[in-house]
């Protein structure tokens, strides 16, 4: 029997975006009730005095790379100390399901180990249902899953760069349908990551049509290679085409004004108003388009993303062969354009490489007395592809325009490994509270909370999360606005956020009086069951 909890006499900011009101929240059997009048007569097992505190919905992160690592660190402290109570995994076209056999799954984990790392033990699942069952009561937060087109392509086409046949596309559609019937919320793409990057626009439209039949969404890391000086928005135009022709709601992830490396300098790419105008125009024409962004300018992903797609044509073993080939290394080096001076690396597993963690490729090359490309190739071989890199991704001068835009919400793109990850993993959500709302007043606190709770719940299709309203799930946070602090920085990224005093997940305290309880009440959030 779950405990009855009364959060008494707080300022309730309920996720609607409306001004807060004073009242109490009663929790019983993972459902909440809002009490506007005197609550003294209510009996509860735990009573928390929330005077001078804010009660709000738990935050929902629609972009998290925690699908594997969370089983090794189930308390999930970097995120729950920010008030996150639900996350979407399987984004960027890279999901832990579905696979025909363990060998294919393990190869896929290997290829993207610099982005998603490894689970603490060999994976013991293949199907969506099996993965979701593994989540229940084994992690601190709720987990929703979306299906990456990478595993779908491996299932239907294989690891090679070739056009999918009609029969192969139909096979992929049937697999996607099965995954969604087992609880997945749609499909995602990461069109800079092979083998998902090998998919044509036509192929993705057909997958979109299947997801649309079951009420899913299209969550996309767009195809950067389409961009040109003449049309920097081409990757997003492809996404709009897929959405329009498949009649599938579109969500553009980590959407902001890009920085690009030109003549040894990082410069803003285009005008931020062009990016926002693209979304506004699409919505004015009747399309269902949203986006998310994080609150730091630093991007982060696997180092292998810098390597051309042809090096990954065939799988991770082929990539290793190319990295060892002098001929391939010369060709790759000519095709890479990156600021090696400001891009830093992390997630080194070998003890002799630990000294390089947090250093730029240029700094490491100088230490190793190599040119930057060769230093990078050798490290990738030595670390079996599992290196992550962080660099300047968003224009810091315009990022707030995306944060405050009405079609935008907040997501972390969190990577929970390495000694020097992007600080966004530890501070994206609390930074909204402490900086964007409280200190700089770019947005109101009510708007910020909506962008982190009800808006992502609405986008995904969650009908019992994201609000502090009667009969909603008891995913709640309590905080003193003046006490919220974000220590995570570029120099010291692995610093837990401060000031989220209580975090309740499914009616149970995960954070109580600023201390993690060790409880693991998280559940898999399944499409069809939790809508």
Whole-number pLDDT of residue 264: 57
- Contact call for residues 248 and 208 (beta carbons, < 8 A): yes
Give Dmax over CA atoms of the chain in angstroms.
Answer: 78
Euclidean distance between CA atoms 127 and 461, whole angstroms = 22
pLDDT beyond 90 at 265: no
Domain membership flag for residue 10: no
Q: What is the share, in percent, of the chain residues with pLDDT greater than 90?
A: 93
Mutual angle of helices 316-324 and 372-382, in 10-degree steps: 140
Backbone angles phi and psi of 4, in degrees to 5: -85, 130
Domain membership flag for residue 423: yes
CA distances from 498 to 110, 172, 293, 434, 479 (A): 34, 44, 22, 10, 10
For residues 200 and 298, membership in a common domain is answered with yes
For residues 192 and 323, membership in a common domain is answered with no
Whole-number pLDDT of residue 341: 78
For residues 408 and 349, membership in a common domain is answered with no
Would the pTM of this model clear 0.85, i.e. be above it?
Answer: yes
Q: Among 436, 464, 492, which residue terminates a domain?
A: 464
> H or E stretch including 503?
strand 500-505
For residues 413 and 291, membership in a common domain is answered with yes
Mean pLDDT of 257-279: 81
Under the banding of pLDDT at 50, 70 and 90, the label for residue 117 is very high
Token pair for residue 51?
Answer: 């005077």
In tens, the pLDDT along 350-388 reads 999 999 999 999 999 999 999 999 999 999 999 999 999
Domain membership flag for residue 85: yes
Number of domains in the chain: 2
CA distances from 57 to 314, 433, 496 (A): 45, 13, 20
Mean pLDDT of 513-521: 98
Q: Among 346, 367, 387, which residue terminates a domain?
A: 387
pLDDT beyond 90 at 1: no
Domain membership flag for residue 25: no
pLDDT beyond 90 at 529: no
Whole-number pLDDT of residue 263: 53
Listed in sequence order, the residues at least 6 apart from 457 whose beta carbon sits closer than 8 Å to its beta carbon are: 60, 86, 463, 465, 466, 467
- Contact call for residues 528 and 519 (beta carbons, < 8 A): no
Whole-number pLDDT of residue 390: 95
Domain with residue 143: its CATH number is 3.20.20.140
pLDDT beyond 70 at 191: yes
Q: How many CB atoms lie under 10 A from the CB of residue 136?
A: 14
Mean pLDDT of 408-436: 97
Q: Which domain holds residue 338?
A: 315-387
For residues 193 and 335, membership in a common domain is answered with no
For residues 185 and 322, membership in a common domain is answered with no
Whole-number pLDDT of residue 448: 98
For residues 383 and 401, membership in a common domain is answered with no
Under the banding of pLDDT at 50, 70 and 90, the label for residue 268 is confident
Listed in sequence order, the residues at least 6 apart from 37 whose beta carbon sits closer than 8 Å to its beta carbon are: 23
pLDDT beyond 70 at 495: yes
Domain membership flag for residue 74: yes
Backbone angles phi and psi of 132, in degrees to 5: -65, -40
pLDDT beyond 60 at 471: yes
For residues 297 and 320, membership in a common domain is answered with no
Q: Provide the pairing of β-strand 414-415 with 64-65.
A: parallel
Domain membership flag for residue 11: no
For residues 157 and 216, membership in a common domain is answered with yes
In tens, the pLDDT along 12-64 reads 999 999 999 999 999 999 999 999 988 989 999 999 999 999 999 999 999 99
For residues 335 and 423, membership in a common domain is answered with no
Under the banding of pLDDT at 50, 70 and 90, the label for residue 338 is low
Q: How many CB atoms lie under 10 A from the CB of residue 360?
A: 20
Domain membership flag for residue 522: no
For residues 261 and 166, membership in a common domain is answered with yes
Q: What is the share, in percent, of the chain residues with pLDDT greater than 70?
A: 98
Euclidean distance between CA atoms 508 and 45, whole angstroms = 12
For residues 379 and 415, membership in a common domain is answered with no
Under the banding of pLDDT at 50, 70 and 90, the label for residue 430 is very high
Q: Among 356, 371, 387, which residue terminates a domain?
A: 387
Domain membership flag for residue 491: no
Euclidean distance between CA atoms 293 and 75, whole angstroms = 25
Whole-number pLDDT of residue 342: 79
């Amino acid at each position: 029997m779950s405990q009855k909890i009364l959060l008494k006499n707080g300022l309730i900011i309920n996720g609607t975006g409306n001004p807060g009101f004073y009242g109490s929240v009663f929790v019983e059997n993972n459902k909440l009730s809002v009490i506007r009048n005197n609550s003294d007569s209510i009996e509860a097992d735990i009573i928390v005095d929330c005077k001078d505190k804010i009660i709000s919905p738990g935050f929902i992160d629609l972009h998290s790379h925690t699908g594997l690592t969370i089983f090794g660190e189930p308390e999930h402290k970097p995120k729950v100390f920010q008030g996150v109570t639900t996350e979407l995994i399987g984004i960027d076209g890279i999901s832990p399901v579905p696979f025909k056999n363990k060998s294919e799954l393990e190869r896929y984990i290997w290829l993207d180990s610099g982005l998603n790392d490894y689970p603490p033990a060999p994976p013991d699942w293949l199907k969506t249902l099996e993965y979701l069952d593994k989540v229940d009561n084994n992690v601190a937060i709720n987990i929703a899953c979306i299906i990456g087109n990478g595993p779908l392509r491996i299932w239907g086409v294989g690891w090679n760069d070739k056009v999918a046949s009609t029969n192969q596309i139909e096979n992929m559609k049937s697999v996607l349908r099965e995954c969604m019937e087992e609880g997945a919320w749609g499909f995602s793409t990461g069109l800079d990551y092979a083998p998902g990057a090998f998919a044509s626009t036509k192929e993705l439209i057909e997958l979109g049509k299947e997801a649309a039949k079951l009420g899913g969404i299209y969550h996309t890391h767009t195809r950067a290679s389409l961009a040109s000086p003449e049309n920097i928005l081409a990757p997003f135009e492809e996404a709009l085409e897929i959405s329009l022709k498949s009649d599938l709601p579109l969500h553009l992830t980590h959407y902001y004004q890009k920085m690009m490396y030109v003549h040894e300098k990082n410069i803003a790419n285009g005008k931020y108003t062009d990016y926002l105008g693209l979304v506004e125009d699409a919505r004015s024409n009747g399309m269902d388009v949203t986006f998310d962004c994080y609150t730091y300018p630093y991007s982060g992903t696997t180092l292998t993303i810098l390597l051309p797609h042809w090096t990954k044509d065939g799988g991770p073993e082929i990539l290793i062969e190319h990295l060892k080939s002098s001929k391939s290394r010369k060709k790759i080096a000519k095709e890479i354009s990156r600021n090696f001076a400001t891009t830093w690396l992390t997630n080194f597993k070998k003890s002799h490489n630990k000294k390089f963690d947090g250093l730029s490729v240029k700094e490491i090359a100088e230490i190793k007395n190599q040119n930057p490309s060769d230093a990078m190739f050798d490290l990738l071989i030595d670390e079996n592809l599992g290196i992550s890199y962080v660099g300047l991704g968003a224009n810091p001068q315009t990022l707030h325009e995306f944060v405050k835009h009405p079609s935008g919400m907040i997501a972390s793109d969190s990577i929970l490994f390495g000694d020097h990850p992007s600080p966004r993993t530890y501070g994206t959500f609390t930074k909204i509270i402490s900086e964007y709302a409280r200190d700089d007043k770019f947005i109101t606190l009510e708007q910020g909370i909506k962008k982190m709770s009800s808006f992502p719940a609405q986008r995904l299709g969650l009908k019992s999360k994201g609000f502090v309203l009667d009969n909603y799930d008891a995913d709640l946070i309590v905080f003193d606005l003046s006490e919220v602090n974000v220590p995570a920085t570029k120099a010291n990224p692995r610093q837990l956020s401060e000031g989220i005093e209580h975090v309740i997940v499914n009616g149970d305290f995960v954070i109580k009086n600023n201390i993690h309880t060790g409880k693991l009440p998280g559940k898999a959030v399944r499409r069809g069951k939790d809508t």
